Amino acid sequence: MTNRPVMLITGASRGIGAAVARAAAPTYDVLLDYAASSEAAHRLADELGAMGCRAEPVQADVGDEAQVLAMFDQLDTSFGRLDVLVNNAGIAGGYGTLDVVNGEMLARLWAVNITGAFICAREAAARMRTDRGGLGGSIVNISSKAAVLGGSGEWVYYAASKGALDTMTIGLSKELAAVGVRVNGVRPGLIESDFHLHAPPGRVERMAPIIPMQRSGTTDEVAPAVLWLASDAASYVTGTFIDVTGGR
C-alpha cells in the first residue's frame, strides 16, 4: 500500500482530467484511466513520475461495467487504497438540435456520462466508507454549466446527462455523508479543450463575448476547484458545486 493518498481520475489522458492529474501530483499518487488515448496516458504518467508522483495508466471504458471492475481490481493491486475519485470521463454525444438524436447515440451517452459515473462511485464508496473499514474519502463529479443552462440548439442531450450527474451528486452526498464520503461537483463553462472539436470551428471564439469575463477558461483553471473539493480544506463541504464559468 502506498503511503501517499491515492486519486483515481477517469478520462485522465487529456483535457480537464490531465490538468487535475498534474495539479494532484505533488500530493497524490494517481491512477490514470483512459479509454483509447494510450500514448497520451503513458506520456502523462511519465511526466507525473518525473515530479515524484506514482502514476499508473489503466485502460477502461467506463461505459462498460466489466472494464470498470477490472480497473478497480488494478487499483487494489497497485495501490491498496483510494482516497479520491474524480468522475471526469464523459462524451459529447454529437452536436446539433433535437433532430440528430437517436437511440444508439443516447444509449452510449448515458452509458458513459451517467451509468459509468454511478458504477465508479459505487466501487469507490465501497472502498472509502468508514462503516465498511474504509478511511473515508471524496468523490468529485465533473459536470457542466450546461446542466443548468440546458444546452439548447447544441447539446441538450449532453446537458441532460450532466443534469443527471448533478442529481446524483446531491443524492449521494446525503446517502454517504454519515460514512465519511463527501460528494461534490464542479461545473466548468466555456473551457478550451478538445470538447469543442465536436462543434463547428470557432465555437470558443464565438461564445467568449457572452461570458461576463469576456474570455474562455483553461483546464488549469478548473483543476484547483477539483483539488480543493477533494482536500481536507473542504472537510465540511458536501453536496455542493463550484461553477468555473467566468461568471456565466
Asked whether residue 97 is domain-assigned, the answer is yes
Contact yes or no for 140/228 (Cβ under 8 A): no
Domain ranges, residue 218: 6-244
Write out the catalytic residue numbers.
Answer: 158
pLDDT tens for each residue of the chain, 248 residues long = 668 999 999 999 999 999 999 999 999 999 999 999 999 999 999 999 999 999 999 999 999 999 999 999 999 999 999 999 999 999 998 889 999 999 999 999 999 999 999 999 999 999 999 999 999 999 999 999 999 999 998 999 999 999 999 999 999 999 999 999 999 999 999 998 877 667 788 888 888 899 999 999 999 999 999 999 999 999 999 999 999 999 99
145: closest CA among 189, 207, 104?
189
Q: What is the dihedral of CA 38, 42, 44, 48, to 10 degrees?
A: 150
Grid cell at residue 157: 442531450
Asked whether residue 1 is domain-assigned, the answer is no
Number of domains in the chain: 1
CA distance 123 to 111: 16
31: closest CA among 77, 63, 66, 64?
77
Which residues, at least 6 apart from 69, have a Cβ–Cβ distance to it below 8 Å? Answer: 123
CATH number of the domain at 92, please.
Answer: 3.40.50.720
Q: What is the dihedral of CA 227, 229, 231, 233, to 10 degrees?
A: 120
Q: Say which residue the cell 458504477 belongs to.
A: 119
Contact yes or no for 135/81 (Cβ under 8 A): yes
Collapse the DSSP code of 49 into the 3-class scheme (helix H, G, I; strand E, B; otherwise coil) and give the result.
helix
Asked whether residue 84 is domain-assigned, the answer is yes
Contact yes or no for 157/101 (Cβ under 8 A): yes
- The one-character DSSP state at 225 is H
Q: Say which residue the cell 464508496 belongs to.
A: 125
Contact yes or no for 88/17 (Cβ under 8 A): yes
